[in-house]
Amino acid sequence: GDSVTQMEGPVTLSEEAFLTINCTYTATGYPSLFWYVQYPGEGLQLLLKATKADDKGSNKGFEATYRKETTSFHLEKGSVQVSDSAVYFCALSDRGLTGGGNKLTFGTGTQLKVEL
């Protein structure tokens, strides 16, 4: 079945440092890929997405490129801020429901802590 593997956290960085959170996936079809962010006490918010190979998703300074050859979708940001502290989830969407719809398969999440 489909699966998503993320680097374990927590990742602790100083403000303005470069961020990379690794994500690799296994899927039988051609999934869409997503990064979601979860702030303390809140639900998930979509950060960015990419729908086909070589697509780059970007939002709020975060970027991730859909790499089919390495089955990866690593999240990057050039300069993190304290406000970026949250848990980041990589996810894929692959049609597989009996009724024809799709579901999200998530990684275990990577906690990011940004310090001054």
Q: Which residues bind other proteins (CB under 8 A)?
A: 4, 31-32, 36, 41-46, 49, 51, 89, 91, 93-109
Give the C-alpha separation, 59 to 56, whole Å.
10
26 or 79: whose CB is closer to other proteins?
26
Residues with Cβ within 8 Å of 109's Cβ and at least 6 positions away in sequence, in order, are 6, 9, 38, 87, 88, 89
CB of 94 to other proteins, least distance (A): 7
